[in-house]
């Protein structure tokens, strides 16, 4: 990655500070300039940075709601964690775990299906209309059915996440398997490769480039799937935290959850991006 010039960094820092400042103090000017400051800046809707930080500490069991710090050694932190079962740490952990399983199952099953259908003209012809039909359903619309069928535990979140991811990866793998350079297959065949060896050494590696390209969106999709599942019904998770805060009219709680999701999303995408760049290093500089 190229290093950013310092003026770019400076600008980015300035924009951050400006956003935070307007967020924190902007609405104080509402009384004086009602036409200049939109109602949407009302902390009732979007909270404000200081409250969000405070709410972060409360939801994370680091402070009591009265503002006192929970001690680590005197056991206050432990007691809070035990009593408040959807605390920030548990919620994040549960959401991450379900995202991971949804991603894993979605990617692997999408890959296998895409590979099989992509390399078999007959199977792809038979299944084409079904795939098109299922694919035109907005997957999120299935979430309530899934929660109904699989309960409010973790499995319904994994399934929701899976169903969002599997199609994405399936389509990419399918396209990749269809577009394997015929010259590669001929070259392998003439060097004595069996059908199985061709699949293993030519078709799979060549399709991989397409699959990797779908991994970054797939991880975001997996997270979306889990959050939506948690909205419908869940015991734990960030999505549940958002719904609870909304019910209590606590914008700060929702904002904490959203910020956590943003951080989680950025970290996951960066990890996948790293992995992808490493695995596709053979594509050379120009491709990256």
Applying CB under 8 A, the residues found at the interface with another protein are 181, 183-184, 186-193, 197, 201-202, 205-206, 208-209, 281-284, 286-287
**Closer residue to another protein, CB minimum distance, 138 or 284:** 284
**Closer residue to another protein, CB minimum distance, 28 or 181:** 181
Minimum distance between the CB of residue 191 and another protein, rounded to whole angstroms? 4
Minimum distance between the CB of residue 208 and another protein, rounded to whole angstroms? 7
**Closer residue to another protein, CB minimum distance, 138 or 183:** 183
Minimum distance between the CB of residue 170 and another protein, rounded to whole angstroms? 22
**Closer residue to another protein, CB minimum distance, 180 or 268:** 180
**Closer residue to another protein, CB minimum distance, 184 or 273:** 184
Minimum distance between the CB of residue 202 and another protein, rounded to whole angstroms? 7
SS3 of the chain: the string is CCCCCHHHHHHHHHHHHHHHHHHHHHHHHCCCCCCCCCHHHCHHHHCCHHHHHHHHHHHCCCECCCCCECCCCCCHHHHHHHHCCCCHHHHHHHHHHHHHHHHHHHHHHHHHHHHHHHHCHHHHHHHHHHHHHHHCCCHHHHHHHHHHHHCCCHHHHHHHHHHHHHHHHHHHHHHHHHCCCHHHHHHHHHCCCCHHHHHHHHHHHHHHHHHHHHHHHHHHHHHHHHHHHHHHCCCCCHHHHHHHHHHCCCHHHHHHHHHHHHHHHHHHHHHHHHHHHHHCHHHCHHHC
Minimum distance between the CB of residue 285 and another protein, rounded to whole angstroms? 8
């Amino acid at each position: 990655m190229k290093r950013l010039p310092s003026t770019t960094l400076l600008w980015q820092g300035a924009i951050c500070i400006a956003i935070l400042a307007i967020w924190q103090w902007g609405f104080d000017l509402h009384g004086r300039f009602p036409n200049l400051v939109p109602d949407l800046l009302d902390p009732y809707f979007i909270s404000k940075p200081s409250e969000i930080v405070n709410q972060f500490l409360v939801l994370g069991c680091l402070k009591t709601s009265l503002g006192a710090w929970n001690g680590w050694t005197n056991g206050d932190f432990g007691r809070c964690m035990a009593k408040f079962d959807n605390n920030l740490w548990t919620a994040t952990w549960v959401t991450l775990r379900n995202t991971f399983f949804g991603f894993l199952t979605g990617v692997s099953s999408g890959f296998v299906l895409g590979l099989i259908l992509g390399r078999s003209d007959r199977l792809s012809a038979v299944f084409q209309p079904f795939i098109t039909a299922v694919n035109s359903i907005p997957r999120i619309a299935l979430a309530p059915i899934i929660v109904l069928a699989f309960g409010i535990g973790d499995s319904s979140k994994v399934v929701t996440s899976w169903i969002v991811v599997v199609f994405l990866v399936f389509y990419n793998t399918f396209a990749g398997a269809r577009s394997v350079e015929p010259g590669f297959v001929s070259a392998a065949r003439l060097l004595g490769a069996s059908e199985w060896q061709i699949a293993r050494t030519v078709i799979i590696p060549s399709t991989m480039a397409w699959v990797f390209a779908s991994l970054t969106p797939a991880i975001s999709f997996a997270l979306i799937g889990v959050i939506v599942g948690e909205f419908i019904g869940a015991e734990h998770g960030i999505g549940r935290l958002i719904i609870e805060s909304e019910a209590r009219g606590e914008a700060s709680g929702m904002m904490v959850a959203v910020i956590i999701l943003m951080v989680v999303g950025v970290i996951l995408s960066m990890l996948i991006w790293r992995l992808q760049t490493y695995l596709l290093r053979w594509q050379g500089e120009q491709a990256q």
